[in-house]
Structure formats: structure tokens, C-alpha cells
């Protein structure tokens, strides 16, 4: 389950957590890892369908976060969209694309295959919105887009996904 939406109190708590993490306090780093790892991992696994790759990408995203944490400035949505962004960037950096047909459940294969045909930006937005459950504002913050851009990209991605799934059903 992704972390709860950011309330003013949660934002203040997260700011304090980030300040402590930027000082490399072990408890703060552990709290960030424990809070966000599963949600980031699930989002990556949903895109790639491979546990080994998802673990490696998620781990690398957290290492990257650790390296650049001193430069982190709070974004709308907080740490969660930032970590999702780092993981998605790691996937793109290595040119990784899902391979259809890697899961035993046929429907999952079909959906994953259709998702693999979407653009990386479309995959990222759909993953963040529907698999991770992030609100539009958090996706916008995590991807550097405006809310309207996220909604438009989401709409185009869903339309493309419907067309691809219909074509697969017809074949």
C-alpha cells in the first residue's frame, strides 16, 4: 500500500525526517527505506514482471537517493514521487523494456505486453497512478509535469492501452 496522502502535519514530519536523513542518521534512513521500498518495488515489478530486475532497479534507486539526498528539496507529494521518479529513471537509463509472456497468468501477460508497447512516459504515469495509487498531484511532482499534462498523458495512455488490448483480442 502506498503511503497516505500528504497532510500538513505529515509534510512537516517528512521535512524533519529528510533533515535527519540528510545528516545520514541511521534511524531516518531506515524509516525512509521501510516506508517507501515496497511501493517503489511494486511499481517497478508491475512494469518489468521480473523480481530480480525489480529488486536491482529499486535498490539502485535507493542508492541514488542516498547519494543525492543532501541536495533534495521537498517537492509537492514529498519523497514518494521522487523515489518513484528515480526508479523510473533507472529503468530508462538502462533501456529496459518489459518482455511479454513472462508470467503464467494469460491476462497479466496480455496486459504487460500491451503496456510494453506504450511509451516510457505513458508506462510511468499509468504505473504511478494505478499500480502505486498516487494522486495526480504527486505524479506531476514526481515527473516534473503539470497536473493537466499528467491527466492528458494518462488519457492518451489509457486510450492506447485499450486499442492495443482490443487488437490483441482480435488476433
Task: Report, as an integer, the average pLDDT of 44-60.
Answer: 84
What percent of the chain is predicted at pLDDT more than 90? 22
Residue-wise DSSP of 26-93: HHHHHHHHHHHHHHHHHHHHHHH--HHHHHHHHHHHHHHHHHHGGG----TT-HHHHHHHHHHHHHHH
Cell of 114: 500491451
Task: Give the pLDDT confidence of 85-136 residue by residue, as tens digits.
Answer: 899 888 888 777 655 544 434 566 677 788 889 999 999 898 888 777 788 8
Domains of the chain: 8-170 (1.10.10.10)
pLDDT value at residue 22: 93
Provide the mean pLDDT of the chain.
Answer: 82
Question: What is the per-residue pLDDT across 130-144, written as a single tens digit (0 to 9) for each?
Answer: 777 788 888 888 888
Burial class for 7, CB neighbours closer than 10 Å (0-12, 13-18, 19+):
exposed
Amino acid at each position: 500500500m502506498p503511503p497516505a496522502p500528504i497532510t500538513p502535519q505529515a509534510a512537516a514530519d517528512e521535512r524533519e525526517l529528510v533533515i535527519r536523513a540528510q545528516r545520514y542518521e541511521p534511524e531516518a534512513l531506515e524509516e525512509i527505506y521501510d516506508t517507501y521500498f515496497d511501493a517503489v518495488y511494486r511499481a517497478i515489478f508491475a512494469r518489468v514482471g521480473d523480481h530480480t530486475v525489480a529488486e536491482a532497479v529499486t535498490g539502485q534507486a535507493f542508492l541514488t537517493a542516498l547519494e543525492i539526498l543532501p541536495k533534495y528539496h521537498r517537492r509537492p507529494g514529498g519523497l514518494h514521487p521522487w523515489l518513484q521518479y528515480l526508479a523510473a529513471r533507472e529503468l530508462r537509463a538502462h533501456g529496459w523494456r518489459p518482455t511479454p509472456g513472462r508470467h503464467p497468468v494469460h491476462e497479466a501477460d496480455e496486459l504487460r505486453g500491451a503496456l510494453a508497447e506504450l511509451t516510457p512516459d505513458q508506462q510511468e504515469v499509468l504505473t504511478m497512478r494505478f499500480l502505486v495509487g498516487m494522486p495526480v498531484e504527486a505524479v506531476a511532482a514526481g515527473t516534473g509535469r503539470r497536473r493537466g499534462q499528467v491527466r492528458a498523458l494518462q488519457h492518451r495512455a489509457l486510450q492506447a492501452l485499450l486499442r492495443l488490448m482490443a487488437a490483441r483480442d482480435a488476433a
